[in-house]
Amino acid sequence: MTRVYRILRKPYAKSPLDGEGAFLFGGRWSSPGTRLAYTAEHQSLAMIEYFVHLDVEDAPKDLVVVTAEIPDDVSRVSISPKRLPAHWRQSPAPPPAAAIGDRFVRDARAAILIVPSALAPAESNWLINPGHAEFSRIRPCSVEPFEYDQRFFR
């Protein structure tokens, strides 16, 4: 069993892995219109991935951390940095990076796409396809209030 983590605002914790945010806005690994739930292999990476997108003047006070469990036999594909497009870490993300996640969801060969984090490339983000047949086996096991240290926003 692998645990993955996601930081999000409390109102969205009812369906934390539905991929709605990526569907509406896209992300590094997906275009708008593609459902992917972005999670991280460590809670600290989930924090970094969330905080990098925050406006310091408007940091939310209603964050939660969702922990999900992924059975070891749920299908997954891993992509090493060597197989990624040039400049995949740049911001904003280059369109070829989003094409990877779009193709992953469209092909539906696996439920999980493991990719390196652009912020900490030695660590991984686990992208969950909520449209995959195995998605029902991936379960959020806890939703806890998340209080961050104010020093993050000095």
22: phi then psi, degrees, rounded to nearest 5: -65, -35
pTM of the model: 0.90
Residue-wise pLDDT tens digits, 99-109: 999 999 999 99
Q: Band of the pLDDT at 154, cuts 50, 70, 90?
A: low
Residue-wise pLDDT tens digits, 34-55: 999 999 999 999 998 988 877 7
Instruction: Specify burial of residue 145 (Cβ count, 10 A radius: 0-12, 13-18, 19+).
Output: exposed
For the chain, the domains span: 2-153
Residue-wise pLDDT tens digits, 47-88: 989 888 777 777 778 889 999 999 999 999 999 999 998 899
Fold of 2-153: Diphtheria Toxin; domain 1 (3.90.175)
Residue ranges of E strands in the chain: 2-9, 37-40, 63-70, 76-78, 112-116, 124-128, 139-145
Are 85 and 97 contacting, i.e. CB atoms less than 8 angstroms apart? Answer: yes
Q: Band of the pLDDT at 151, cuts 50, 70, 90?
A: confident
DSSP letter (8 states) at residue 125:
E
pLDDT of residue 42: 96
- Mean pLDDT is lowest, of 26-35, 38-47, 87-96, 131-140, for 87-96
> Quick one: which H or E segment has residue 95?
helix 95-107
Give the HSE-up count for residue 26: Cα atoms under 13 Å, Cβ half-sphere.
16
Q: Band of the pLDDT at 123, cuts 50, 70, 90?
A: very high
